[in-house]
Chains A and B, each alone.
Chain A
Amino acid sequence: GAVVSQHPSRVICKSGTSVKIECRSLDFQATTMFWYRQFPKQSLMLMATSNEGSKATYEQGVEKDKFLINHASLTLSTLTVTSAHPEDSSFYICSATGMGRNVAQHFGDGTRLSIL
């Protein structure tokens, strides 16, 4: 079946560091990728929608200058958390869909980000 690979799976870094998370679709072309964030004991919250070759659309309350999203190819999207602070510590999850309507959304295994 379709697979979405997310890397790294875990990051621990100091406050002020910028962190890049990669999301790859391994066996299909992902025209759209989504980025979610999940705090402990809570559900997934959509951060942004990214279409290949165009600017990402951010959900209300998500700072676009803080969370930089690049979707330069049909198989790769990246999320960069710039100047990360402890409140950015969370579980970040990407998902990808192919072309067409109502296609399945495939999820990566998430990246646990811990900012000290």
Chain B
Amino acid sequence: DAKTTQPNSMESNEEEPVHLPCNHSTISGTDYIHWYRQLPSQGPEYVIHGLTSNVNNRMASLAIAEDRKSSTLILHRATLRDAAVYYCILRDVRGNTPLVFGKGTRLSVIA
């Protein structure tokens, strides 16, 4: 799986938007971009995924650069419950391969 690079940590104020960046310069044409998050003492939770176009769901938005070498997870209004480690993961669309986790970004939300 191609590698992703994320900042180790970020901080946000409550009720402010948060933009979590991810670089994946070696992404291939068959790689989907997945985002998961892990709250303390829990298993990872699916957030969103996309291939080329921007995606929106009830949890977040995913903005994918035109060259697909980077993406940004957008939380429109951070809450204290959004404090977690966010993982950006590439996964080949052609197979049912396991997710390979990097270090992720630890998001702190300040009240």
Closest to A103 in B: B96
**Interchain CB contact under 8 A, A93 and B96:** no
* Alpha-carbon distance between A41 and B51 when the two chains are bound, in angstroms: 30
Interface residues on A, range: 20 to 34
**Interchain CB contact under 8 A, A34 and B98:** yes
Interface residues on B, range: 20 to 34
**Interchain CB contact under 8 A, A112 and B96:** no
**Interchain CB contact under 8 A, B95 and A105:** no
* B99 interface residue per 8 A CB criterion: yes
**Interchain CB contact under 8 A, A102 and B91:** yes
Looking at the assembled complex, report how far the CB atom of B81 sits from the nearest CB atom of chain A, in whole angstroms.
16
Residues of A within 8 Å of B41, CB to CB, are: 91, 110, 112
Contact partner of B43 among A6, A49, A102, CB < 8 A?
A: A6
Closest to B46 in A: A104
Give me the interface of B with A, judged by CB distance under 8 Å. Answer: 32, 36, 38, 41-46, 49, 87, 91-96, 98-104
